Structure 1
Amino acid sequence: MSVTVHITPELEARVAAIAERTRLSPSEIIADALQNGHSLEWQERFVERVAAGIAAADAGEFAHDKDINAVLGKFRPA
């Protein structure tokens, strides 16, 4: 099925920016929004958080075993 939707230049630019950063097509970005309820704002925030996580990992910022065990211990039954 093929559908044509007219959107504002601003929305088109946002979709294009998300598509470029995620290596998805604009159609895939719009389909995700429709199928999963992921608004452009949600997708933009998601891409930013992933980029921040990758940057942190590239900088060697990982959780240490002691920190992970402390969190896991917090939620283990007594």
Structure 2
Amino acid sequence: MGYPKTEREARARSERKLRSIEKRARAMLLEIAAFWDEGQVTGQIDLTLENLERDLGAIRECMDEEIRAHEEDEVHA
């Protein structure tokens, strides 16, 4: 699989990888949480999952902004 030719292709590939990261991280963190009674550890894991979701969403937003900016530049060129 070569380098993406367009920003939209890069976005699609990146999205697949972000979903994979999220799925793996969630599964591993929930597995860790199962080792512990509800308390500080599981609370921190919950917070980490929330932060992960937020941060991955921010990456997605940045990708979309770059695509929009590039498309606007092409229109004005």
- Tell me the TM-score normalised to structure 1 length: 0.35
**Which of the pair is proportionally richer in helix?**
2
Bigger radius of gyration: 1
Say which structure, 1 or 2, has more relative contact order (CA 8 Å, 6+ apart): 2
